[in-house]
Each structure stands twice: as C-alpha cells, then as structure tokens.
C-alpha cells in the first residue's frame, strides 16, 4: 500500500522543488542540454568524416577483400602473378559477394611526347568495377573503357596536366613483362578521370585487363582479385569461404590491407570518449554546485521532514529524483537539438575553402555528419549514470542532518 | 580599498561553493592551456618537419615551374646565382637542385622515379635527408659518379649499397639521358613519398646526364626560424634580376595545403573549446546568481545604510573576478606544469606514431612554451566569466531597500 504512493510523492516533490528557482533551473538545464548537444553533434561530425574516409579508401582499389599471391602484398610486381583456381571462381560467384573483378596491377612508366612519370598500371574489367571502385564514376571527360579488351587508356587529370597531354592524344606505357624485359605499348587516351585526393590522379592509369595481359605476356594470369561484400564489418563468413576455396592464395580483408584505417577508427573512438568525459566533467561542476546549494538552502525544510517522520533514505531519494528530472529534461532537449542540427547539416559541411589542407590528411572537402546510434547511446548513458552519481554527494549531505539541529539553523 | 576587502571576505563565506566553482574554472583552464600549447607545438612540428626534410622555407624557381614541373623551365646558371645569394644574404642554407624523371632499374626490377640533382656540400643545410642515411654514406661531391636513394625504393629494386643503378630518362633537350652509377647510400626519412620514390645524384653529374648545361630547377633557401621568413624572402627577391622570369615561392606557396590544414584544425579546435567554455560559464553563472539572490536582505540593509547600488555591484563583480582569477591561477599552474613537463618528455598516445608516420611526421609532440599558448585560453575564459558575472551585478541596481530587507 505505502509503496504505491511513495514514488509519485517523491516525483511530485522533486518536480516542484526543481521549479522553485525557475531561472536557476533553466540555466543549468541549458548548460546540460548544450553539453549533450555538443557531445552528439561533434561525435556525428567526427564519425561522419571518418566513415567517409573509410568508404573512400575502400573504393580506392581496396575493396572489402583482396586475393593475391602470398608475396604480392610485400612486393607488388609481376613475378607474383596467379591464375584464379576454378574453386575460387565458384566461391566468388556464390552469395555474400556483391561485386568482384580481376586486376593486373604493376608498377610502370608513362610517357607523353614531352614528359614521363612513374605510375601504377592497372588492368581492369570495366563492367565488373562498378560498385567495386571509384573509377567507373570518375571519368569526367571522354569515355570509360568498354571492355577488358579495350585498347584505350584512362588518365588522371592531374597527371594529364603534368604530361602536357590530353584526351585523344597518344601516350606510351612501359613496364616489365613476365620475362623481365621492358614491354612498351602506345595507347590513346580515351578518358580523363577526376578524384579526391588528387594524388590518386597521378598515381594510377587504367587500361583493359586483357590488353594489359597481352602487353605483359601474362596469358591468363592476373595479380589480384578485388571483392565487395554486403557489409564491410561482417566479413568472417565470406572470408572463410574464399580462403577455403583458394588455400594457396593470400585472401585478406581491408582491415589487413589498410591497417591505418582500422587504427584511425580506434583512435576516433578514444577521442570521442575523451571529449565526452571532458564535457561531462565541465557539466558536473555545475550540477554538484547547484544541487548542493539547493540542498543547503532547504536545510530547515529537510529537518522538518525528518521530524515529521520522513526517513533519511527518502530525503536522499527526493534530491536524487530532482537531479533525475533535470537530467532527463536536459537529455531530451540536448538530443532534440542535436538531431535538428545533424538534420540541418545533412547536405554536408563544406570545407572546400581549405580543401588542399584536408587532402593532405585524406579528408574530403565536404563532411557529412553521421548519426550513430552507438555514439548517441554512449553520450546519453554517460550523462545519465554519471550525472546521478555526481548528485549522490549533495543528496547524501541533505539526508545526513540531525532534525533538531537542522530546524533550529537559520 | 574596503570594497576589495569586502569582496574577498564575501568569497569565503561559502568555502565549499567557492572551491567548487574555482575548480570548475581551474579545470577548464588546465585543459585549455594544455590543449593549446600542444596544438601550437604540433603545428610547429608539422611545419618544421615538412620544410626541413626536403622543401625548405622557400625556393627560387622559374615562374610556373611549381604548377607544372617541366624540364625546360629552368633557373639558368643556378650555381652562380646561388653563390651570389649566399654572399648577399650571409645565409649558407642555400642549395641548388635540378629535377628530372627516369626509369630506375636494377638487374631485376625497374621503377619510374623522380631524380634530383643536388649540391652535396650545401644540401645538408636545407634538408635533413643527408643526415638520414641508414646505410653507406651521402654523396661526396658535385661531380662524383654516384647515387643515393630511399630505403623503400632500394628494397623494391632489390639494391644494396655498392650495387649499380641504371637510370634511363630524357634530358632537357629531349635527348636520351642514360647513366649507370653505383649506389653509395640509402636514406630513410620516415616520409613514404620520399623513401619510396627519390633518387639523388650530384648536381654536376645530373646536369651532364640530363643535358642541362649549367641550368637547374630550384634554389632552396632556409634561413633561421619561421619569424625571419618574410625578411629572407624580400632579400632573396631583391637579388633576382627583374625580367629574369624567376620567382621566390615560400613554403605556403610550395605546400599550400599545410597552412589550410592548420587553419582548419584551429577552427575545429576552437569550436570545441568555446563549447567547453560556455558549459563551464553557465555552470558558474548559477553560482554567481545564487550568491546574489541569497543576500537580497543584506544588500537591502547596505542600501538602507547608504551604500550606492554601484558600489554593491562592484563588490559582487569583484567577487566573481577574484573567483575567476583564483581558478585561472590554479589552472594555469596545472596546465602550464603539464605543458612544461611534456615539452621535455614529449606527448604521444598509442597509434599516433603509425598515423603520423604516414605523413612523415614524428609520433611525438612537444607542447610549445609561448606566451600566447599560456594566456590565450585563460584570457577567453576570463572574458566569458566576467560577462557571466555582469548580469547578477547589474540586478542589484533594481533593488529597493525596503522590499529587499523584507525578502526571505
């Protein structure tokens, strides 16, 4: 019976106590909401820029999984070539793989009439690269390659400028063939591609896979297979299947191919937690101070409650409920504000004014905030639990008074 | 005088509250001093590492060469010009470079790489590469028939010190440039771009192989600190004959991304700092407000006894200033202490080294000890808290003595 009305009473008391000083409460509410807001918004922006970087790196010829000869990753040259075994082809055609393409990727030299440059020569299967890498969507002038046998060549804009060549002009590619002799062949530039970061435009040239195999006397050998799956964070099953299908080859997920991306992700998590902790610490000073004051000015009241028979535990509960209401209100306001902010920024934050700087660290000039449930839950949980913990001290002070002393104190 | 005393005493009427509020300010100050000194240290390190490894503070080039590095866009008679610059400026951090492209081959491998011709005697004054030789030695003289190359390139080419390196490219006039030179040294800078691509030859050898005559492509200049860059640039510009088609590009023009990167980082960091400061300010504004509200009666009596509202307002404001200064003092001591400590030991966290190495930076940051670093954060906090204290202080002007005395 009694426990039925006790909780509502505490709630009513807490709620009313909170609004005894409207201004004070609003101010602390605002401070808290701002704190929660900054936690979530900054998390969304950081997470967004990191995820974009990750997506981009995966599209930059990495894919979710790659298959090579064992020594190729260490020493990416033509000697480490292979013919995909039939079992691998079967596994690649199976479920879980959304895109796959064979590639010939070796170092080479490109020369125009005027200049020459070192590049990575990539022989691709044009149709298969759709959904697997950036190249099908990056051709902004001329055309994309038609087929693996296409005799044309795709050149990055920056490299085209450096070589003083352009669409429709001829360039010469040189590389080592399987017999260690220099193989060279003239190509017509059929397409120019643009991409970010622009170093990519200078680093790669693309030709048809079959053309590359012919030029380098590769037969039906290739140097890598790139694979895209449904979910980059759930690679265990597809990996296991591919490895079982090609035990002699080196099948690696992007986490192994690009360890820096994994590290960046981990560091982002750590930085966000540190940011949360700092913001919370700043907020908790305000919370403790306000609640402490609210408790001190009510010393007489608490004494009276106690002499009327209220147990210290309930006084403690009363103050805690007050904090609880405050926290819930602040969290609600903070989350709403943050959601509105992230929504308002859905078209991205344009940093193109400092694009070259962002490029140095591989960040795109437009950042799209990413609303992550995990980050939001972490922020809310942290503020809620630690906020309650922080108000334990004022609550405990309130409950500790001896009734008679408390009543007689002015 | 009595105002100062009153304010000080008022502050200690609520010890706990004062300390709590002061520690909120101290917390924010510590954090800001630490972060800002670290940030400034990181910028210096980035600029320094970037410039010292290879680029130098500024370069004399033919106009347009930087945007489009073409062989024929040369600095004519570069060594003579460099000598004149050295004599005129008194700086010895001035070195000539020429750059070409070649297919670098060993017995079993070839890679297309940029080849740089350098003056071995002066190169070490503008670049740290000569000191980053891991095996063998650096180039011995302007005309020596030898080469040094990056560690990653050497590994890819399967070359050791003493092996022969074949270079095949085209010279300034379009003729074939070919030579075979022994590798005398292998450098490792930590910057993947340089380690994977670069081959250096002595300048004279380079000019001969690439049919450059006495021409080169850049004169690299590195003076003392960053502060002197504008003067050095003006001095070097003055030495260039008008109409020669040569320009001086400073590091901001050579690596425009670096300045932008720093600006972007600065803006981003200040947004977080301001958010933090506002949160702290709102928390302590409450304290200020309450300390005024609870003394309504007292202020009423003071008014009745003839104190002017202005004076009471001054006392209240002073209390806030004392409180803020107390917090700032503690915070600056703590934050400054951490900064000084880390200035000597260096700051790093797990994973930072790998990420920084990608950009050729060392994985340790030394906070920069500078006046701005120590005072910028506290100054902003001070402005915010004083603004926060104005509101309660101004409220006092609205008090009526009689009503105020009756307030509970």
Task: Give the residue on B whose Cα is nearest the Cα of A119.
Answer: B112
Residue in A38, A285, A286 closest to B275 by CB: A38
Angstrom distance (rounded) from CA A37 to CA A376: 10
Angstrom distance (rounded) from CA A142 to CA A168: 8
- For residue A299, pLDDT over 70 is answered with yes
CA distance, residue B176 to nearest chain A CA (Å):
12
Orientation angle between helical segments A22-57 and A259-296, nearest 10 degrees = 180
Residue in B280, B355, B359 closest to A267 by CB: B355
More confident site: A405 or B383: B383
The domain boundary, picked from A223, A248, A273, lies at A248
What is the per-residue burial (b if ≥16 Cβ within 10 Å, else e) of B324-356?
Answer: bebbbebbbebbbebbeebbeeebeeebbeeeb
pLDDT tens digits for range A91-143 = 888 888 899 999 999 999 999 888 888 899 999 999 999 989 999 999 999 99
Task: Give the residue on B whose Cα is nearest the Cα of A282.
Answer: B280
Judged by CB atoms closer than 8 Å, whether chains meet at A286 and B259 is answered as: no
pLDDT for A364 equals 66
Residue in B31, B108, B294 closest to A297 by CB: B294
Considering the domain architecture, whether residues A290 and A386 belong to the same structural domain is answered as yes
Cβ-based neighbours of B51, under 8 Å, separated by 6 or more? B57, B222, B251
Residue A156 placed within a domain: yes
CB A140 within 8 A of CB A192: yes
Angstrom distance (rounded) from CA B195 to CA A133: 27
pLDDT for A300 equals 83
Chain A residues with CB-CB distance to B19 below 8 A: none
Chain B residues with CB-CB distance to A333 below 8 A: none
Residue in A31, A38, A182 closest to B282 by CB: A31
The domain locations on chain B are 2-51+258-406, 58-222
Considering the domain architecture, whether residues A95 and A50 belong to the same structural domain is answered as no
Residue in A27, A285, A356 closest to B27 by CB: A285
Sign of CA dihedral B156, B162, B168, B170: positive
Q: Is A371 exposed, middle or buried (0-12, 13-18, 19+ CB in 10 A)?
A: middle
CB A188 within 8 A of CB A172: no
Question: What count of residues does chain B have?
Answer: 408
Residue B256, Cβ neighbours under 10 Å: how many? 15
Judged by CB atoms closer than 8 Å, whether chains meet at A77 and B294 is answered as: no
Considering the domain architecture, whether residues A51 and A95 belong to the same structural domain is answered as no
Considering the domain architecture, whether residues A96 and A205 belong to the same structural domain is answered as yes
Residue A254 placed within a domain: no
- For residue A6, pLDDT over 60 is answered with no
- Of these ranges, A303-307, A321-325, A346-350, B240-244, the one predicted with the greatest mean pLDDT is A321-325
pLDDT for A282 equals 85
Considering the domain architecture, whether residues A90 and A185 belong to the same structural domain is answered as yes
Considering the domain architecture, whether residues A34 and A85 belong to the same structural domain is answered as no
Judged by CB atoms closer than 8 Å, whether chains meet at B285 and A292 is answered as: no
Task: Give the residue on A whose Cα is nearest the Cα of B30.
Answer: A278
CB B199 within 8 A of CB B147: yes
| Residue to substitute from B275, B287, B392, interface A, most A β-carbons within 10 A | B275
pLDDT tens digits for range A168-224 = 999 999 998 898 888 999 999 999 999 877 788 889 999 999 999 999 999 999 999
pLDDT confidence of A3, banded at 50, 70, 90? very low
The domain boundary, picked from A218, A248, A278, lies at A248
Task: Give the residue on A whose Cα is nearest the Cα of B276.
Answer: A279
Residue A208 placed within a domain: yes
CB A227 within 8 A of CB A242: yes
The tally of CA atoms less than 13 A away on the side-chain side of residue A327 is 25
Chain B residues with CB-CB distance to A354 below 8 A: 260-261, 263-264
Residue in B109, B257, B278 closest to A77 by CB: B109
Q: Which residues pair with B150 in a beta bridge?
A: B187
Task: Give the residue on A whose Cα is nearest the Cα of B355.
Answer: A260
pLDDT per residue as tens, chain B (408 positions): 788 888 888 888 888 888 888 999 999 999 999 999 998 888 888 888 778 888 889 999 999 898 888 888 899 999 999 999 998 888 888 999 999 989 898 888 888 889 999 999 999 889 988 888 999 999 998 899 999 999 989 998 999 999 999 999 888 888 888 999 999 999 988 777 788 889 999 999 999 999 999 999 999 998 777 778 888 888 888 888 888 889 999 988 888 878 888 888 888 888 888 888 988 888 788 788 878 878 888 888 888 888 888 888 888 889 899 999 999 999 999 999 999 999 998 888 777 777 777 666 777 888 988 898 899 999 999 999 999 888 888 888 887 888 877 776
| Residue to substitute from B264, B271, B385, interface A, most A β-carbons within 10 A | B264
Judged by CB atoms closer than 8 Å, whether chains meet at B272 and A180 is answered as: no
Judged by CB atoms closer than 8 Å, whether chains meet at B24 and A30 is answered as: no
Question: What count of residues does chain A have?
Answer: 410
DSSP 8-state code for residue B129:
G
Considering the domain architecture, whether residues A149 and A211 belong to the same structural domain is answered as yes
The domain boundary, picked from A248, A275, A293, lies at A248
CA distance, residue B83 to nearest chain A CA (Å):
30
Q: Which residue has the tokens 């033919």?
A: B62
pLDDT tens digits for range A130-147 = 989 999 999 999 999 999
CA distance, residue B335 to nearest chain A CA (Å):
15
Dihedral, CA of residue A291, residue A297, residue A300 and residue A301, to nearest 10: -60
Phi-psi region of A403 (alpha: psi -120 to 50; beta: other; left: phi over 0): alpha
Angstrom distance (rounded) from CA A333 to CA A286: 17
pLDDT tens digits for range A259-295 = 878 888 888 888 888 888 888 888 888 888 888 888 8
CB A98 within 8 A of CB A235: no
Task: Give the residue on B whose Cα is nearest the Cα of A267.
Answer: B351
Sign of CA dihedral B206, B210, B216, B219: negative
Encoding tokens for residue B59? 């370069």
CA distance, residue B325 to nearest chain A CA (Å):
17
Closest CA relative to residue A361, chosen from A226, A272, A279, A267:
A267
What is the tally of structural domains in chain A?
2
Chain B residues with CB-CB distance to A355 below 8 A: 260
Q: Which residue has the tokens 């050898």?
A: B205
Q: What is the DSSP string of B55-115?
A: I-SEEEEETTTTTS--TTS-BTTHHHHHHHHHHHH----EEEEEEEEEEEE-SS-EEEEEE
CA distance, residue A83 to nearest chain B CA (Å):
22
CA distance, residue A269 to nearest chain B CA (Å):
12
pLDDT confidence of A361, banded at 50, 70, 90? low
| Residue to substitute from B23, B65, B105, B257, interface A, most A β-carbons within 10 A | B257
Residue in B263, B276, B294 closest to A357 by CB: B263
CA distance, residue B248 to nearest chain A CA (Å):
21
Task: Give the residue on A whose Cα is nearest the Cα of B153.
Answer: A75
CA triplet A324, B387, B31: central angle to 5 degrees? 65
Residue in B170, B258, B279 closest to A35 by CB: B279
Q: Which residues pair with A175 in a beta bridge?
A: A183
Residue A62 placed within a domain: no
Judged by CB atoms closer than 8 Å, whether chains meet at A282 and B283 is answered as: yes
CA triplet A254, A251, A87: central angle to 5 degrees? 135
Considering the domain architecture, whether residues A400 and A298 belong to the same structural domain is answered as yes
Cβ-based neighbours of B391, under 8 Å, separated by 6 or more? B285, B288, B289
Considering the domain architecture, whether residues A288 and A180 belong to the same structural domain is answered as no
* A-B Cβ pairs (cutoff 8 Å, strict): 166
pLDDT for A1 equals 42
Judged by CB atoms closer than 8 Å, whether chains meet at B17 and A282 is answered as: no
Considering the domain architecture, whether residues A221 and A77 belong to the same structural domain is answered as yes
CB A35 within 8 A of CB A187: no
CA distance, residue A354 to nearest chain B CA (Å):
5
Residue A257 placed within a domain: no
Q: Which domain holds residue A286?
A: 2-57+262-408
């Amino acid at each position: 019976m009694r426990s039925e009305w006790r909780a509502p009473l505490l709630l009513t008391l807490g709620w009313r106590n909170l609004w005894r000083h409207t201004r004070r409460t609003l101010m602390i509410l605002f401070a808290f909401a701002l704190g929660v807001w900054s936690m979530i918004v900054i998390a969304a922006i950081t997470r967004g820029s990191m995820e974009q970087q990750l997506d981009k790196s995966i599209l930059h010829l990495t894919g979710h999984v790659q298959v090579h000869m064992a020594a190729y990753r260490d020493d990416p040259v033509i000697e480490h070539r292979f013919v995909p075994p039939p079992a691998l082809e079967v596994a690649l055609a199976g479920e879980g793989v959304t895109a796959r393409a064979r590639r010939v990727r070796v170092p080479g030299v490109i020369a125009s009439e005027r200049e020459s440059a070192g590049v990575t020569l990539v022989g691709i299967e044009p149709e298969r690269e759709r959904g697997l890498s950036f190249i099908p969507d990056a051709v902004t002038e001329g055309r994309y390659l038609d087929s693996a046998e296409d005799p044309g060549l795709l050149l990055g804009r920056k490299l085209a400028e450096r070589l003083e060549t352009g669409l429709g002009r001829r360039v010469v590619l040189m590389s080592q063939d399987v017999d260690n002799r220099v193989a060279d062949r003239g190509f017509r530039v059929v397409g120019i591609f643009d991409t970010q970061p622009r170093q990519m435009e200078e680093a790669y040239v693309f030709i048809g896979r079959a053309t590359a195999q012919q030029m380098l006397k590769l037969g039906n050998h290739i140097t890598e297979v790139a694979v895209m799956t449904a979910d980059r964070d759930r690679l265990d099953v597809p990996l296991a299947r591919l490895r079982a299908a090609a035990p002699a080859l080196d099948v690696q997920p992007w986490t192994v191919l690009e360890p820096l991306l994994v590290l960046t992700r981990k560091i982002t998590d750590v930085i966000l937690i540190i940011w949360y902790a700092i913001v919370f610490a700043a907020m908790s000073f305000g919370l403790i101070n306000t609640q402490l004051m609210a408790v001190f000015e009510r010393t007489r009241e608490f004494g009276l409650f106690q002499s009327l028979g209220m147990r210290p535990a309930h006084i403690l509960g009363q103050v805690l409920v007050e904090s609880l209401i405050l926290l819930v209100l602040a969290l609600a306001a903070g989350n709403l504000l943050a959601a509105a902010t992230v929504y308002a920024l859905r078209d991205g934050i344009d940093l193109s004014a400092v694009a070259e700087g962002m490029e140095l660290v591989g960040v795109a000039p437009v950042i799209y905030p990413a609303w992550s449930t995990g980050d939001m839950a972490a922020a809310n949980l942290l503020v809620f639990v630690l906020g309650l913990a922080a108000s334990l001290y004022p609550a405990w002070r309130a409950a500790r008074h001896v009734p008679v002393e408390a009543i007689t104190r002015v | 005088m009595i105002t100062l005393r009153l304010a000080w005493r008022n502050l200690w009427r609520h010890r706990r509250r004062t300390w709590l509020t002061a520690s909120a300010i101290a917390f924010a100050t510590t954090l800001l001093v630490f972060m800002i000194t670290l940030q400034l240290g990181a910028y210096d390190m980035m600029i320094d590492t970037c410039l010292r490894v290879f680029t130098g503070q500024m370069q004399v080039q033919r106009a347009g060469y930087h945007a489009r590095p073409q062989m024929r866009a040369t600095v004519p008679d570069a060594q003579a010009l460099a000598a004149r610059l050295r004599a005129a400026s008194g700086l010895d951090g001035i070195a000539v470079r020429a750059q070409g492209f070649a297919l670098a081959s060993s017995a079993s491998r070839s890679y297309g790489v940029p080849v740089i011709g350098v003056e071995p005697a002066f190169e070490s004054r503008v670049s740290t590469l000569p000191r980053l030789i891991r095996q063998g030695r650096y180039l011995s003289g302007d005309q020596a028939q030898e080469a040094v190359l990056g560690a990653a390139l050497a590994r890819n080419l399967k070359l050791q010190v003493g092996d022969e390196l074949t270079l095949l490219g085209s010279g300034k006039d379009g003729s074939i440039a070919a030579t075979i030179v022994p590798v005398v040294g292998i450098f490792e800078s930590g910057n993947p771009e340089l380690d994977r691509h670069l081959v250096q030859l002595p300048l004279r050898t380079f000019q001969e192989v690439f049919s450059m005559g006495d021409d080169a492509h850049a004169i690299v200049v590195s003076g003392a600190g960053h502060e002197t860059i504008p003067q050095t640039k003006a001095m070097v510009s003055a030495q260039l004959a008008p109409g020669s088609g040569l320009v001086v590009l400073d590091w901001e023009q050579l690596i425009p991304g670096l300045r932008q990167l720093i600006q972007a980082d600065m803006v981003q960091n200040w947004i977080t700092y301001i958010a933090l400061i506002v949160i702290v300010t709102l928390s302590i504004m409450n304290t200020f407000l309450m300390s005024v509200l609870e003394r309504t009666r007292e202020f009423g009596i003071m008014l009745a006894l003839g104190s002017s509202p202005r004076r009471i307002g001054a006392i209240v404001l002073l209390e806030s200033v004392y409180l803020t200064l107390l917090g700032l003092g503690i915070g600056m001591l703590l934050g400054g202490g951490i900064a000084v400590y880390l200035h000597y030991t260096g700051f790093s966290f797990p994973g930072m080294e790998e990420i920084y190495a990608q950009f050729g930076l060392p994985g340790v940051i030394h906070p920069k000890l500078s006046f701005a670093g120590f005072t910028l954060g506290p100054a902003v906090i001070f402005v915010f808290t004083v603004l926060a204290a104005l509101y309660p202080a101004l409220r006092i002007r609205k008090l009526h003595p009689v009503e105020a005395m009756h307030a509970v």
